Structure 1
Amino acid sequence: MSLTVVALTFLAIFVVELPDKTFLATLVLATRYRPLLVWIGVSLAFLVQTTIAVGLGHAISFLPRTPVQLAAAALFLAGAVLLFREGRQHHRATEDEVAEVADVTGWRVVLTSFLVLFAAEWGDLSQLLSVSLVARYADPLAVFAGALAALLTVSGLAVIAGRGLLRVVRLHVLHYVGAAVCLMLATITLVGIVR
């Protein structure tokens, strides 16, 4: 397992997830329910989603290298464009986008948090980036470790300090940083193809 791939994956997923709607969903859930239970449910959703993404990326890594690398670069570029567009439109994103949930306690909070985040993450940019990173680096354990660590960190930040963080750092800035990271990953992948 490459620590470089772990670190690169962590950085990529962290900056992509921080301005994402899943961060806001976790933040809102944590303001309604016990934060620890929300974090447990969200973490379980991320565990399942990351496992699926890494498994799919590993299967893709058996395909011919150049087409896979080109597809990964295209996904990184698409991610950069999407994050840039979201950065420009960040003022439209509100907490109203989060589905209303019933007043529940205990393990029902865990289940509710799991279901809300599992649905929000399905096909999300971070999941696609995880697939691309496994296909790019052929190190599924490193990508799994980096992606899951990033997702758990972002959800932890949302639970603990979400509202305060959004007061300090503007959401559109986080989108632009995420777009820059995706653009950097696309460039690294394309340079690797040319070599």
Structure 2
Amino acid sequence: MLVFRPRNSSNVEAFFVSTGIVALGEMGDKTQLLALLLAARFKRPLPIILGILVATLANHAMAGAVGDWVAKAMGPDLLRWVIGGSFLAMAVWMLIPDQIDDDEGTGKERFGVFGTTVIAFFVAEMGDKTQIATVALAARYTDLLAVVAGTTLGMMLANVPAVFLGDQVARKVSMKLVHAIAAAIFAVLGVLTLLNIGKLF
């Protein structure tokens, strides 16, 4: 029987799992809706994209550090249950549609397009699905840099098209299907973790 080996995985695996999960999870998320709102308001894609990148790196680095600390503070058995439960909770959360507050991302124009985007995205990402996913992934995988790079790339893959294509993306892609796929991935990861099954765990 394979035993749970927390934080024992390749950098490539950590990077690609983090990228895929966050890219799927971000589809239809409130921060993607915020990207659409900012693009419609300012019509300046480059500073918006740079702002999303900076805000995501800062937010996910912080979340990753929390996940790394959690992993070091717990023993392997407790960590397995915490990570497995977190993945299952994320699977359920992925099925709940997000809404953006009417005042989210508004105001603060005195900081310019870039500054407004950084502030709005950093605040909107606090406690968001993708931030919590980053904490869980950083607790699961050894390489914090690979996790943060992967989750950041996942955010950019979901949000850059939203900035350029706007509402066309939302109309053509089934958010329910995307969220269902993301939920299934989290559920599989959670079950594999709890049961000590599979190469990933």
Same-fold call, TM cutoff 0.5: yes
Question: 2:86 is aligned with what amino acid?
Answer: L
Instruction: Give the Cα separation in 2 of the matches to 1:191 and 1:142.
Output: 25
Moved over 6 A (4+): none
Taking only aligned residues, the RMSD between alpha carbons, in angstroms, comes to 2.2
TM-score (norm 1): 0.86
TM-score, scaled relative to structure 2:
0.84
Of stretches 18-27 and 182-191 in structure 1, the one that deviates more from structure 2 is 182-191
State the match for 1:8 in structure 2: 17
Check whether the contact 1:25–1:98 (CA below 8 A) recurs between aligned residues.
no
- Residue 37 of structure 2 is matched in structure 1 by 28
Task: Supply the distance in 2 between the matched residues of 1:67 and 1:9 (Cα, whole angstroms).
Answer: 22
Structure 2: 5+ residue stretches without partners: 1-9
Trace 1:78-157 onto structure 2 (pairs within 5 A).
78-86=89-97, 93=99, 97=102, 99=104, 101-102=106-107, 104=109, 108-157=112-161
Change (3 A) 1:180 1:193: closer
Do 2:28 and 2:170's aligned partners in 1 also have CA atoms closer than 8 Å? no
Q: Alignment partner for residue 79 of structure 2, among 68, 75, 79?
A: 68
Match of 1:61, SS? Answer: helix
Between the aligned partners of 1:97 and 1:104, the Cα distance in structure 2 is 16
Matching residue's letter, 1:13 = V
Distance 1:165 1:186, change over 3 A: same
Q: State the number of aligned residues.
A: 188
Look up the equivalent residue of 1:84 and give its one-letter code: L
Q: Which moved more, 1:28-37 or 1:155-164?
A: 155-164
Partner-residue secondary structure (3-state), 1:85: coil
1:9 partner amino acid: S
Partner of 1:46: 56
Structure 1: gaps of 5 or more residues? none
1:155-189 superposed Cα distances (whole Å, 9 cap, x missing partner): 21211223222121122222212211211221222
SS of 2:106's equivalent in the other structure is coil
Give the helix-richer structure, 1 or 2.
Answer: 1
Conserved 8 A contact 1:69-1:135? no
Give the C-alpha shift of residue 108 in structure 1: 1.2
- Percent of aligned pairs with the same amino acid: 29
